[in-house]
Amino acid sequence: MLYLDSSALVKHYIQEAGTEELNARLDAQKSEFPSIFTSVLTYAEIHAVLARKMKEKALAPREFARARRKFDSDWLYGLSPIELGVGVLGFVKDLVKTYPLKGSDAIHLASAIWIRDTARLSGRWGRPARTLVLATSDRQLSNAALQSEIEVFNPETTK
C-alpha cells in the first residue's frame, strides 16, 4: 500500500527532482494494489504549490492549467483521500509531542498510521496485511515515519 504526502505527490504533476522515480513507483503500485492513499489536506496543499509556482513564474500558465487538470482528475478517479476523522486526529497530539513535525506533516503521518493500523486489524486489503509505504521528500516526516515503523520512499534519494 502506498501513501503519498504532498511533497512526493506534487512530483507527479510538475517536473522536479524525483519525478521519474515517483512515477515509476506509482506505475508499479497500480499493478500491485490500485489504491493510492493521501490525506484530504493534500487537495489544498497541491493546489497551493501549483499556484505559488505559477506566481513565481516557475510554471507557465499552460503548464499550471495542465497540472491542475491532471491533479483534479486524479483526485476524483485515482486517489483514495483519507478524511480527517477522529481516528486520524487521535494520533496527532502524541505525534507532535514526540516528533518535531509541522501540523500538516503530523496529519500526513497520522493518516498513514491510521491506514496501517486499520489494514492490520481488518485484513481488508489482503492477507497477509500489506506493508504501508509512506512516500515523502520531507526529512523530518521521513524520520518520524521510520520511528513509527512505517517504511519510507523518498523519490529524491531513490536511484
Sequence ranges of the domains in the chain: 2-153
Rounded Cα distance, 7 and 156, in Å: 10
Compute the Cα dihedral for 41, 47, 52, 53 and give only its sign. positive
Q: Is the pLDDT of residue 70 over 70?
A: yes
pLDDT at 106: 97
CATH number of 2-153: 3.40.50.1010
pLDDT at 123: 64
Q: The pTM is what? A: 0.91
For 23-44, b where at least 16 C-beta lie within 10 A, e where not — what string? eebbeebeeeeeebbbbebbbe
